[in-house]
Every structure is written in C-alpha cells, then in structure tokens.
Chain A
Amino acid sequence: MAQQPRPSARFRPTDVVDFVIVGSGAAGGIIAKELSTAGHSVVVLEQGPRLTERDFDHDEFGTFMRGHNINDPATQPHTFRATAQQTAHRQQALIYGRLVGGSNAHFTGNFWRMRPSDFNEASRLGGVAGTGLADWPLSYDELEPYYTKAEWELGVSGEPGPFDPPRTRPYPMPPLPVKSSGVLLERGARALGLHPQPSQMAINSQTYNGRPACQHCGFCLLFMCEFRAKSTSMAVMLPLAEATGRCEVRPNSYVAQVEVAQNGRATGVAYFDAQKRLQRQRARAVVLCANGSETPRLLLNSATSRFPDGLANSSGVVGKYLMFNSYVAVNAQFEQPLNEFKSVQNTRMVLDFYETDPKRGFYGGGGIDARFGKYPITFALGGLPTGAPAWGESFARELAHQFPRSMAFGCHATSLPLDTNNITLDPTLKDAWGLPCIRATYNDHPDDLKTVSFLAKTASDIAHAAGALAVWSDPIGPQTLAVHLLGTCRMGNDPRMSVIDRNHRTHDVRNLFICDGSSMVTSSRGQPTETISALAFRAGELIASFAKRGEI
C-alpha cells in the first residue's frame, strides 16, 4: 500500500453524512475503513492532532513525564478515588492516546485473541458473588472470523501456542526474532514444565502490504513507529478509509455532546474545533469509539430532559464496570548483557495460567511475557532493587552494569467487573472547554490482586530457573494508574443490564452505536486490543448491513 497524497473527502458540518465516528483509534479507524469502503460518507472526529512520521520522536521524558500524545491533565483533567466514600482528587489515573490513531497509535503491539472460555466464564464458573461477571452475548465462534480478519488486514506476527483457541487461518507473518529475555523465559519456563510460546504482535516481522518489517529500534511502548511497521489504525486503516474519497478524518475536534431530536434519534454531534468554536456535524447515525473513558463521559454529558441520566443510559450501567486489567512487573538481573532496549517489547510468553482454576481459590487468569523493563530515565529512577545505592560512585557503576543485564516479566491479568468501579462526572471540575470532567472510582477486587500475586510468584520462579542473579517484584496493590479502560458501556442482551446489544447498537437510541474497549463484558487476560479490533471489524460489517437494509 503505497502512501499516496491523501484524496481525503472534505465535508461541511452542515452536510448530513451517513456516519460520524467519534474517535480514531483501534475501533474508530477500523469502523471508518469498513463503512467508507462499503460506500458510506464518514466523518471521523478526533480530539487530538494529526501527526506524521516527522513529528514522531524517541523522547522518553516528553512521553512518560510530560504527557506527550496522551490526554492532557492541564486542559482535560480528571479526578480519582478508590471508593465512593472517599473524596476524589485531581490526578492522572487514566491514560489514553490523544492524536489521530488514538492509544492504538502508540500501543505496544501485543495482540492476543481471547479464548472460547472468556465468553461464557460467568455461567461456567457459576458467577462470582458480589461482582458483575457476566457472559458475553457473543461466542468465540461468532467472533473468530473477525479475529482472523484483524490479523490479516492489519498484519500480525506470531505462531499459535499449545493452548491457543481454534483459528481458521494461520498467522500472516512468522514471529519476530527472539530476544535474550525471550530465550531466558523459555529456559526458565521449560525447566518448570511450562509451555512458552512466541509473542503475538501487531508488528511486521516481514514486509507486509507495502509496509516494512520492524527495524528493532526499541521504541514501541507509548511511541509511534516511524517505519509504519506497527500495524495500527494510524498506519493501516485510516489511510484505506481516506483513500475511498468518502472519509474525512478531522483532528482537533473535541466532541461535547451527542445531539438527539425530539423523536429520539441522534442527529449528529456538537464539538469544539481547534479554535474552541462550537460546531455541529450532522449525520444519519453516530458511532462512538472514544475509549472506555471518554465514551461513557460523552453519554453522561449528553443528558437531556428526555435522557436525564445520560444518553443511552436507561439501564444506569453507562460508566459502570470499569476494568483496568491487573498487572505487575517482576524484575530480574542476569550475568550477561541482554540489551533489552533493542527491538520490540517482548518476544516470548507463557499462557499456562490463562484459565481460571478453581483449585487456586480465586477468580482470574493471565499471561506472563518477557520484556524490556524500562527506558533509561525510568531505569535510573527505579530500575535497581530496593536497597541498591541511590547516588554516588556505586550508583553510577551499578546503573552502567545492570542496565544491559536487566529485564522484566510482565504479568498481565483479569479484572473483575464491579459496579463500584466506574466513571461518573465530577460534580465540580470542568475542563478547558467548560465540560464536566471524568471522576474515576476504582479499587481492585481481592481476586485480581491474588491473580497477579500468583503470576508474580510464577514469574519469579521462571526467572530463578533461568539463572537470574537477582529477582524482585514491583509492589502489588490497588492500581491508581491505568492504560486499559474497559467495560464502561457493556454489551448484553438485556437492556436493563447493558448499554449496547450484541450488534453494538445502543438499546435506547436506534441510530447510535458504540464500539471500543467500553463494549467489553469481561477484561480479557490483559491484552484487549485484538478483541477490540475484532469487535470493530464485526461492528463495521453489521452497521453497514443495517444501513443497506434501511435498519438504521
């Protein structure tokens, strides 16, 4: 796919387009491509700027400490608290991408399918008391063609592992070359009788559809890829959508409200342009793909006398069941240099503990990958174990010796859906556009902490079995910072218990659709992006078919 000058469509806000899509990330980019190639006019509104390769950098300080390319706490802050009994304080707890391409533009590339068991875990386990754990209204078999489509249309490198779900096509590309961390994970895991497998990554291991193979520069996590080797909405889907001549991607467009007519149908959205002037984009249907944080906020901010508790919220479930994915890193030092700063984050993983095992005594499961722990600043600030020197000659020597010899085992796991974990509107805080801000309330379920503790113990055993000289876990406790924001407009058959139906249509507004991390009923095992992508391919196809049949 050669990059031609974009023949992108340009619509006037007064034009009634077929679809306005809010958000241009993993889901928004795919749905824009599906709807525009099906012949529809589409406007994608993105709150962030449009960046090109010449705007990208490898700036760890700017990216991790100055908030480049993510939601800006100065202009669009939010508040956080662990429980509803506490007062929420302004703090950066939720992170999402704020640029054309969304969080997906700078995601790490992990691309895991969910398994058949993820879709009906509640009924198989008999539920988990006190939680909202529910079955999906879809089966794995129904989603499988779209997992396959996502892998082939985007471009994924991998190889099935021994516990992988059934698939109708192999991976389009072989795995990326193994790194030292991957070799060590394999060594340790095999010694424990486990089954390590190559990581499945949305990063090219070969030239694919005109995009180059990964060049192993090492800047994936929170960085955009200069080579377009990362298979993202930004690099793959949005260019295809724009090439139809029917799709306009409009950056710097901050959506304030979904507008609804007296007859209960959505008429479009009101948004602020780059000059903070209020604009309207009219559309025959609205699709929200604004991330599990901003999608529920937008619905809550769209309350009217007809929808006093927020749009599409007759269930009261909008914003509820927020899931972060529990996570902890186990750090290890080895005798020889690994040079983990080279190439992609991770190349090998262990999924032996994916399933919930009642014998463990708690709900949950996940995976362990072997990864580059920390970029230079982060490593110098906290990459040495507790008790290591913090300054002076021994500090300088220790940093130089350990940086190339260090790695981490990422333990990725489930989060239980709880109605006490949620996104509401802060009662007082307003953003720079005068809109109510998000108030996030989140406290990990004890089983989620037990799951990561269990995985951390296993990762530690793997590290020791691989010959690590030092092994230590980051602290395990309630999370106060998250990049996976899931479950807040969950899908379901019962309009009293869910926001959207199995076809991504909101139960309450016939021409309002939602597809993003908020659609997820359960959290995945810590890597939701392929499921969001598969849902988006399916939603795009369904919405196009509804349009064709006059069912919108």
Chain B
Amino acid sequence: MTDLTDRRTFLRAAIAAGAWAAASLVDIEDALAFASQQASAAPAAQSSALTAAQSEVVAAVASRILPAVDGRPGAREVGASYFIDRALATFNAAQRPLYTDGIADLDRRAGMKAGGAASFAALTPVQQDEIIRDIETTPFFQAIRFDTIVGTFALPSWGGNRDYMGWHLLGFEHQMTFQAPFGYYDGQTRTP
C-alpha cells in the first residue's frame, strides 16, 4: 500500500511547488487520507453465508479460474472467496441457492471421479479442471467466474483483492499521480 500512503509525500511536493490553493489542498488531503484508510480496511475474513466446507470448494474453483502462475498470486491468494461469501451474505443473497446447489454438484462429481472423495477441494488440480470443463457452460460456473474476477480485482473494501495483490497480478498500479511517459510508445517518441 505504499502507493497510497505515498500520496502524502506527493502532496507535500505539490505544496512546495505552489501548485494549489492551500484551502483546496486541505480538502484534497483529507480525501486522500480517507481513500487510503478505506482502501486498506479489508473486512474480517470469516464466512457467513457459506460453511467452511463450502468455502473451501469456492476457493478451490476460484483457484482454478485464476490460478497463481509465474510467481504471481491467484484468486485464492488474494482472497476472492471472502468477497464471494460476503456478497452471498449481503447484496448477492439471491444467488445462494445457485451456489449451494453448484457446490453440492461439484462434490458429487468429485465423489464419482475419485472414489471416496468427500469434496471437490480434495481433488488434484488436474481432476478439478476435468470437472470444470464439464460444467463450464452452467449458470453456476458463469456466476462463480464472474464473482471470482470481481473478488480478485475489486477494491479490498469489498472483501477480496487482499493488499491489492489482485491488481499486481494484472500489472495495474493504483496511484494518485503518474508522470509521462506512461508507456513504451509515448516514451519512445517523447522528446525530453
């Protein structure tokens, strides 16, 4: 979160540069402090809509939708399942039956695939992918894919994207200030 707390450093520099009216700055500094506090205030990581076993399945599916690759975190590492659980407990409550039925179906398929497996979460990634390929056009999979993506990339205040790791996964930097050059092509042509 250095990018957010660095805003204050930037603001000091801006004051020194005399760029802004001082009164305006107080408001803006207040706003940035609020944004920083809000963005870093992830809710407590505890289930409320799903059981622990159901949450494990959700985390396992999320981990196959966006796995950790090349040293970058995936949906499990950034806590996307916490977002999903929190959403199901609040504004997304209408989808709880879709989730509980979908999770039960995954567990049933897991039992058939690996005799005795009690949970989709207990399978190997290869086995999990085989099952997902069988259900990837279902409303349940579409919903969990959507929610995994949101839980990975939405502000941490929604419950996922822990410490902005989701954004790092994407190469997205959240700063209140950038300077040109912004990318390769404008850097190439820009004359100092």
Given contacts A178-B186, A379-B170, contact A391 B65 (CB under 8 A): yes
Say yes or no: B178 contacts A61, CB within 8 Å.
no
Given contacts A59-B154, A61-B154, contact A180 B184 (CB under 8 A): yes
Say yes or no: A226 contacts B184, CB within 8 Å.
no
Given contacts A52-B31, A338-B184, A396-B69, contact A377 B150 (CB under 8 A): yes
Say yes or no: B28 contacts A381, CB within 8 Å.
no
CB < 8 Å: which of B70, B155, B177 contacts A215? Answer: B177
Say yes or no: A396 contacts B67, CB within 8 Å.
yes
Asked whether any CB of chain A lies closer than 8 Å to the CB of B30, the reply is yes
Given contacts A61-B150, A380-B170, contact A54 B186 (CB under 8 A): no
Given contacts A207-B19, A403-B171, contact A60 B154 (CB under 8 A): yes
- Chain B contact residue count (CB 8 A cutoff): 61
Per the 8 Å Cβ criterion, residues 1-39 of A in contact with B are 1-4
Q: Please, which residues of chain A bring their CB within 8 A of the CB of B67?
A: 392-393, 396
Interchain nearest-CB distance for B63 vs A (Å): 10
Say yes or no: B14 contacts A217, CB within 8 Å.
no
Contact flags (1/0) for B54-85 with A, using CB distance below 8 Å?
00000000001111111010100000000000
Per the 8 Å Cβ criterion, residues 391-406 of A in contact with B are 391-393, 395-397, 399-400, 403-404
Say yes or no: A53 contacts B155, CB within 8 Å.
no
Say yes or no: B185 contacts A381, CB within 8 Å.
no
Report the Cα distance A309→B171, complex, angstroms: 56
Per the 8 Å Cβ criterion, residues 163-185 of B in contact with A are 166-167, 169-180, 182-185
Report the Cα distance A343→B182, complex, angstroms: 8
Asked whether any CB of chain A lies closer than 8 Å to the CB of B158, the reply is yes
Say yes or no: B23 contacts A336, CB within 8 Å.
no
Q: Which has the most chain B C-beta neighbours within 10 Å: A57, A216, A376, A403?
A: A376
Asked whether any CB of chain B lies closer than 8 Å to the CB of A212, the reply is yes
Asked whether any CB of chain B lies closer than 8 Å to the CB of A183, the reply is yes
Given contacts A54-B27, A217-B177, contact A400 B70 (CB under 8 A): yes
Say yes or no: A177 contacts B180, CB within 8 Å.
yes
Q: Please, which residues of chain B bring their CB within 8 A of the CB of A55?
A: 31
Report the Cα distance A380→B66, complex, angstroms: 10
Interchain nearest-CB distance for B186 vs A (Å): 5
Say yes or no: B170 contacts A212, CB within 8 Å.
no
Say yes or no: A53 contacts B153, CB within 8 Å.
no
- Chain A contact residue count (CB 8 A cutoff): 61
Given contacts A215-B177, A215-B178, A400-B171, contact A58 B184 (CB under 8 A): no
Per the 8 Å Cβ criterion, residues 168-202 of A in contact with B are 177-180, 182-184
CB < 8 Å: which of B129, B136, B153, B170 contacts A390? Answer: B136
Asked whether any CB of chain A lies closer than 8 Å to the CB of B9, the reply is no
Q: Please, which residues of chain B bring their CB within 8 A of the CB of A400?
A: 69-70, 72, 169-171
Report the Cα distance A376→B69, complex, angstroms: 18
Say yes or no: B180 contacts A376, CB within 8 Å.
no
Q: Please, which residues of chain A bring their CB within 8 A of the CB of B150?
A: 61, 65, 377
Q: Which has the most chain A C-beta neighbours within 10 Å: B68, B183, B189?
A: B183
Say yes or no: A336 contacts B183, CB within 8 Å.
yes
Asked whether any CB of chain B lies closer than 8 Å to the CB of A342, the reply is yes
Given contacts A3-B27, A54-B27, A59-B155, contact A212 B19 (CB under 8 A): yes
Report the Cα distance A60→B67, complex, angstroms: 22
Asked whether any CB of chain A lies closer than 8 Å to the CB of B49, the reply is no
Q: Mind listing 21 A-B residue pairs with CB under 8 Å?
A: A2-B24, A52-B31, A53-B30, A54-B34, A59-B155, A59-B157, A211-B20, A216-B178, A226-B35, A338-B184, A341-B172, A342-B173, A376-B153, A376-B167, A380-B153, A380-B170, A391-B145, A396-B169, A399-B169, A400-B69, A400-B70
